[in-house]
Amino acid sequence: MLRKLFSPKNKYKVSLTIFLLILSLTIMFSFNSEKTLSEDINFSPKERDKMTANLTISEKVMKMEQRLEKEFENYFDREISEVSKAGDDIAQKLLEISKKNNIRPAVFWAIPEPEYLHLVLIYPGKKPLVQDIDFLKRENLIRKVKLFNNEITNPQMLFTNSYLSLVQQLYQSIVKPFEGNLQEDKIDTILFCLGAGLRTLPIAALHDGKQFLVEKYSLAIIPAFNLIDSNYTPIQKARILAMGASEFPTQSPLQWIINN
């Protein structure tokens, strides 16, 4: 699961990467609609804060993972998995993967709350880092995500940079708070766990003003760390049957594929 789903590409391949990522997330649109539970249905935010007041950050990460698990279980109407790894356990697992496979992975949670954006970062062998972006209300953040999705799926905006301002704003809100930590620890692979309202965001397309995120890191989107098989499987020797097409009898050719 921790394989490199997105290897860094040059800027001429970014448009194709964004398009493919949108297609891969289409199935998540329904989960992000009326049936999505963005919060624990049994507790208000104040009640949850009171219940977790005496927990360590590592234990709070487990509570957050349990909340995500509950969302998916309520949506699919069945038990999925048992959350067993706290924040420190996840850090140790990342350290094990890093040493064994010569990569530097991190898990990055971005969970929109009614009045702020909750960000958590865990990288190999380190304590969880937490930042709450105050005054960034969920409704405002989700509005930007929807505007961005509209921009890149609007045929009239094809081959324009009209979306760039939005993705730079989203980068500043989501990634920038931990940008220094990612660089300092030489992270090269990020697993994003996104809360309700962000799950349709093509995270690879976020832009720091110079580069798209996919040009800087290998990226993956996960439902929760406890809901994936965290055993890293290298794909270098995998047997793969692949096929595709770049020209079609009744459709326009895929120009970026032809050029590259």
Domain extents in the chain: 11-235
Would you say 76 and 43 are in contact if contact means Cβ atoms under 8 Å apart? no
Share of the chain above pLDDT 70, in %: 77
Number of H helices, E strands in the chain: 9, 5
Position 124 scores a pLDDT of 96
Position 24 scores a pLDDT of 43
CB proximity list for 28: less than 8 A, separation 6 or greater? 199, 200
Residue 227 has pLDDT above 80, yes or no: yes
What's the predicted TM-score (pTM) here? 0.73
Q: How far is CA 225 from CA 181, 220, 228, in A?
A: 20, 11, 6
pLDDT tens readout for residues 99-139: 988 999 999 999 999 999 999 999 999 999 999 999 899 99
* Mean pLDDT (whole number) for 12-18: 41
